[in-house]
Amino acid sequence: MELKDFTEKEQEQINQGLSTAEISDKEAAQKILALVPREWIKRIPFFVRGHATTKTVERVAK
């Protein structure tokens, strides 16, 4: 899906962005994400990818 596939309201929400987690240990985050196949990460829509990956790493860290 691309940005143009969404309604104007949805596009505004996408452009505002989603919250992301503050990850203190960048090296640990990279190691966790290295365990996930690239194909899986590419399947996450680009506009929520940062949110999804940082929040997942945050949950794993807890």
Q: Which pLDDT belongs to residue 56? A: 85
pTM over 0.85: no
Say what the alpha-carbon torsion angle 45, 51, 54, 60 is, to the nearest 10 degrees.
-90
How many domains does the chain contain in total? 1
Is 12 inside any structural domain? no
Is 50 inside any structural domain? yes
Q: Which pLDDT belongs to residue 18? A: 63
Is 5 inside any structural domain? no
In the chain (62 residues long), the average pLDDT of successive 10-residue segments reads 79 72 72 89 88 85 74
Q: Which pLDDT belongs to residue 51? A: 87
Give the type of residue at 43: R
Q: Say how far apart CA 22 and CA 7 lie, in whole Å.
A: 30
- Taking the CA atoms of 23, 27, 31 and 45 in sequence, report the sign of the dihedral they define: positive
Is 10 inside any structural domain? no
From the centroid of its chain, how far is CA 40?
12
